[in-house]
Chain A
Amino acid sequence: MKAWLPALVRLAVLVLLVVFITSPNWFEPLLKPLTENGAPAIYNQGSLLTLTLQHLQIVLMATVAATIVAVALAILVTRPAGAEFLPLSRSLVNIGQTFPPVAVLALAVPAVGFGEKPTLIALFLYGLLPIFENALTALTTLPGNIMEAARGAGMTGWQRLMKVELPLSAPVILGGIRLSVVISLATATIGSTVAAKTLGEVIIAGLISNNLAFVLQGGLIVAALAVLIYDGLSAIERYAARRMGQGAE
């Protein structure tokens, strides 16, 4: 396979995605065969572009919040002052992953009501785990000789953290963020069962009215977003790893 082929495929997916969400009506003839009884082939209860942006916004907000909290927690439990929390935080991560997203979502509703908020909470809680896990792995497996050198050079704890530990951990932490974003993109669709404005609305509208075209376009947009964002973050991760002298795999 030629090296430029994957890049070309990605570019094509991106162009197709942008064209589809900005002018979905061009694709009507393609999707028409999937509908029955003259049902509309393109989602008509709102703009796909707006829904896509809202979808991305919810995922972005939840991921940023989850990253800040997860990395801060991972830093805390790997300092001497927080070492007592390390074993517990490990088992909490394990336990947390057993909570199904639907349950988190549904249980957040009585606390904050319907709409975007329960979705944000579910995505935040669900996004915490992969980031925290990766940050913890990265911070606890730093090469001992580098840490010794930093200490020997007279760096304070804060300097070591900012100039040595975090930059060295960045690629692995980014890996956690990537995982978290991909999970959140898919989970956000479930948010529409509690009235959040996401692309899940399109899919659910399709399920309710038995309109396969809706289900397909909603699902494909989310899948294309996930694949593109996954690839984009992987590229950033490789760049960060190269900068840290760890080399690309």
Chain B
Amino acid sequence: MTLRLDKLGVVIAAIVVYAAFLAPFATFRANRIVPGQARSILEALPPAPGVLLLAIVIAAAVVALLRTPFILRLAANVAALVALAILIGVAGGFLTPAGNTFARVSPASGFWLLIFAFTLLLADVLTRLNLSPWARLGVLVLAALAIAVLLVSGRWDSLSILKEYASRADSFWAEASKHVTLALGSLAGAVIVGIPLGILCHRVEKLRAGVLNVLNIIQTIPSIALFGLLIAPLGWVALYVPGAAAIGIRGIGTAPAFVALFLYSLLPVVANTVIGLAGVPRAANDAARGMGMTDRQRLFDVEFPLAFPVILTGIRIVLVQNIGLATIAALIGGGGFGVFVFQGVGQTAMDLVLLGALPTVALAFAAAIILDAIIEMTATKRRVETA
């Protein structure tokens, strides 16, 4: 058997060698905002786990470098990722002097590069395995469970980002629920308004160009400006419309953020509804008409189900985009994970930035995978039904 090199593996192995031997694995700081000192893998861990980690990482890189079976690649990758995840916690405990509550340990570039390299490889293996939608959801659930176990077991408690969390545990969950409410609520609003509007645009040709142009222009307004511009009209509503203030409408805070996200969400939903309905085969419509279906029946029983996967694609775009944009709501007092990001930027406390950014990225990522799986399921279901 001849050994053949895997091209992607060459890139991965190069990143791994650099990250494991040349880049710092962890950063140690005397308190949360002073500049840190770099620590390599062997300096950041007790001797035995340090050597073990290097061995696992190098073994995984060799497996990546050579053309090896999928199962072996998968196992080596998962092993490397799990070892990195557990041992960064060990490094936290090892580097923090006993009884010192000010010292901070955070993962450094070497750690992030290793995670990046192995995640890349894992993504490659999973892509080539061509998993079914259910299997992809299963992988997502497994990954989420693994992270949850690590968090609950307290293995990461010695890391700086979790110390930031510990001092803000209550506000973290409050902002988290605000973030999710903002993203999902504005999506729900956009679906309730956008789908009927899309159907209307599909039926009334005169309306289509106008509505889509207006929505296009709204998309070009920078998010921070749109958030800001809504402060005045909503403040006016709160003052002069009876009952508005009572249900929480105010000039600053959640209300303008909600309206801005809603406005941004409309274009993808309306546009995809129009595209989806336009893509319904003429034959299907003719057949429905021939069967004596009313316009209404045709819409709900024929056109809408056929256009559904395309509309779902629009919803996916909106959800991922809203989860990201909701971070900006913090600038106008709307809450969400952006609160930690902007606080962290203000205090140059990067672990606080991470406390806001990592959950946002994780949420957006999970939303994308879940909706992609649902889109694929509805699309294949349709194909099976029509086959």
Contact = CB atoms under 8 A, between A and B. Distances in A.
A binds B: yes
Interface of A: 34, 81-82, 84-85, 87-88, 90-92, 94-95, 97-103, 106-107, 109-111, 182, 185-187, 189-190, 193-194, 199-200, 203-204, 206-207, 212, 215-216, 218-220, 222-223, 226-227, 230
Interface in B312-342: 320, 323-325, 327-328, 331-332, 338, 341-342
B22 to A, nearest CB: 16
Contacts of A34: 232
B120 interface: yes
Interface stretch (B297-305, B349-357, B379-387): B349-357
Given A102-B341, A227-B220, 11 more contacts: A87-B124, A91-B127, A94-B368, A102-B328, A106-B357, A107-B354, A186-B220, A203-B224, A207-B331, A212-B229, A227-B217
Chain A contact residues, majority secondary structure: helix
A189 B225 contact: yes
Most buried by B among A99, A187, A199, A227: A99
B284 to A, nearest CB: 25
Nearest to A189: B222
Contacts of B345: 106, 109, 193-194
Nearest to A92: B123
Given A194-B345, A212-B232, A99 B127 contact: no
Interface of B: 6-8, 109, 120, 123-124, 126-128, 217, 219-229, 231-232, 320, 323-325, 327-328, 331-332, 338, 341-342, 344-345, 348, 350, 353-354, 356-357, 360-361, 364-365, 367-368, 372
Q: Is the interface of B mostly helix, strand, loop or mixed?
A: helix
Given A34-B232, A91-B123, A207-B332, A103 B357 contact: yes
Contacts of A216: 225, 229
Nearest to B353: A106
A138 to B, nearest CB: 20
A100 B127 contact: no
Nearest to A186: B222
Contacts of B128: 87
7 contacts: A87-B128, A88-B123, A106-B344, A107-B354, A189-B223, A199-B222, A207-B227
A150 B217 CA distance: 42
Contacts of B327: 100, 102-103
